[in-house]
Structure 1
Amino acid sequence: MNIIPMSAGFGARIHNVDLARLGDDRDAQQTLQAALLEYGLLVIPGPVLEPQAQIAASEVFGALEEFPPAPGQIPGYPQIFRVASRATEGYTGVGRYWHSDGSFRTVPTPMSLWHMEARPDVGGDTLFTDLQQAWRSLPEEMKAQIKGLQTTHRNHVVHPLVMP
């Protein structure tokens, strides 16, 4: 397995790992877990995974959320939340703004795993940001002003604005 840090200052690309066989390789699992903690974002290029393999590879990082059945979702796989440009293939209009996945939940989603099945010729980029670095770069006066603030979602779930 090769781990190559990304030039953005966080994140790493991982090469030479077979996600479909990850469940049998405890060393690879531990290496990926450590890399996620160190880099905050992992990009692992590879082939399209069958749903069972996608779930098994995702479970290396912890328990998975389950989502209610919906048009375009894969029947029998509530752990997979499909995002698509067509409603018949998954949820549309998702992530067209800066957000943190699952922040509307009482217990926020601690991390997200994305598995791309099809990539458009143009566009389709997913952007990520290092919120730990954003916090570190704030002036101390600003940190003191916002540290105790809370935010309320439309569904009335309340969370700290920042979690340093």
Structure 2
Amino acid sequence: MRTSPQAGMGVIVEDFDPRADEDVQLLKKTIYRHKIVVLKDQHHDAASFLALGERLGSPQAYYEPGYHHPDVPEVFVSATAEPDGRQIGVPKTGRFWHSDYQFMPRPFDITLTYPRVVPTVNRGTLFIDLAAAHARLTPELRAAIADSSAVHTVRRCFKIRPEDVYRPVGEILDEIDSRTPPVRRPTVARHPHTDEPIVYVSEGFTETLLDADGNDRRELLLELLGATGQLDLDDPAVHLQRFEVGDLLLWDNLSLVHRAVHSDRTEPAVSWRVTVYDDAELLK
């Protein structure tokens, strides 16, 4: 397993052997150390892709079945259409800043993404390191959020399902709140594997901040999103990760927020995702 740094953030890994325990343990350490890992020259079907996730932790199928791979439900499918024209999964997912399962009681530790069909232009994933963002905060903003908590919900970014057509919006929102009620965590969380302080907010899933007395501080959330780089795609904190067929991306889902870049062309685009719990306590 050979590792080389890439510009901006993360490393490229070549000659990785998923059957070798030493390579798997080193890969996990590399993910937490460098945030993003790009495995080169990978060739997987859905079952072997899931098997790699199982070497790193405990994968879990996404709570909405419409995203599942038809044969391996733990594989999440984002696809405009398969090359043969079939629609599997959900098109153009994740076009907003978020961390996977940030709106759930326990977020995922590691995300694996395997691009299967890549458009010729305008395709990639944007990342921001929330641990680095915490280090950049002004003393004044750091003090303002010190005793606050963040409220996360999927409400704003929930994708309407085919069976939701003609349903009242209020009924759909009630279902969302029942299945995935808002969760509240400290605005500055500790990473369970690295102990780094993380500004754990996202433009997509964080609804508001609450101060120590429970007062709604949405204006403070907006200031914090701007300070972390989530309100300007040209912010220097934003890292664009390009990829090609044969690449497999893995990242630290707890310290990074990400946002998909989708082509506006009619070209097919297909990627698979596996998300993993790494035997850690809840993000605290």
- Compute the TM-score of the two structures, normalised by the length of structure 2: 0.52
Q: Which residue of 2 aligns with 1:132?
A: 131
Q: Which has the larger radius of gyration?
A: 2
1:3 paired with 2:3, answer yes
Written as runs of structure 1 = structure 2, the 5 A alignment for 1:1-164 is: 1-8=1-8, 10-18=9-17, 22=18, 24-68=19-63, 70-71=65-66, 73-86=68-81, 88-152=87-151, 153=153, 154=155, 155-163=181-189, 164=197
> Where does the alignment leave 5 or more consecutive residues of structure 1 unmatched?
none
Over 3 Å counting, the alpha-carbon distance change for 1:101 and 1:158 in structure 2 is same
Query: Which residue identity lines up with residue 133 of structure 1 in the other structure?
Result: A
Report the alpha carbon displacement of residue 80 of structure 1 after superposing the two structures with TM: 0.7
Matched length: 159
Structure with the greater relative contact order (CA < 8 A, sep ≥ 6): 1 or 2? Answer: 2
Report the alpha carbon displacement of residue 43 of structure 1 after superposing the two structures with TM: 1.0
Over 3 Å counting, the alpha-carbon distance change for 1:139 and 1:58 in structure 2 is same
Over 3 Å counting, the alpha-carbon distance change for 1:157 and 1:72 in structure 2 is closer
- 8 Å CA contact 2:67–2:77 kept in 1: the answer is yes
> Where does the alignment leave 5 or more consecutive residues of structure 2 unmatched?
156-180, 190-196, 198-284
Secondary structure of the 2:185 match is strand
Report the alpha carbon displacement of residue 74 of structure 1 after superposing the two structures with TM: 1.9
Query: Which residue identity lines up with residue 132 of structure 1 in the other structure?
Result: A
RMSD in angstroms over aligned alpha carbons?
2.0
Q: Deviations over 1:12-32 (max 9, x none)?
A: 1111224xxx1x211111211
Q: Deviations over 1:98-120 (max 9, x none)?
A: 11111111111222111111110
Secondary structure of the 2:59 match is coil
Report the alpha carbon displacement of residue 45 of structure 1 after superposing the two structures with TM: 2.2
- 8 Å CA contact 1:104–1:157 kept in 2: the answer is yes
- 8 Å CA contact 2:101–2:107 kept in 1: the answer is yes
Q: Which has the higher strand share?
A: 2
Moved more, 54-63 or 146-155: 146-155
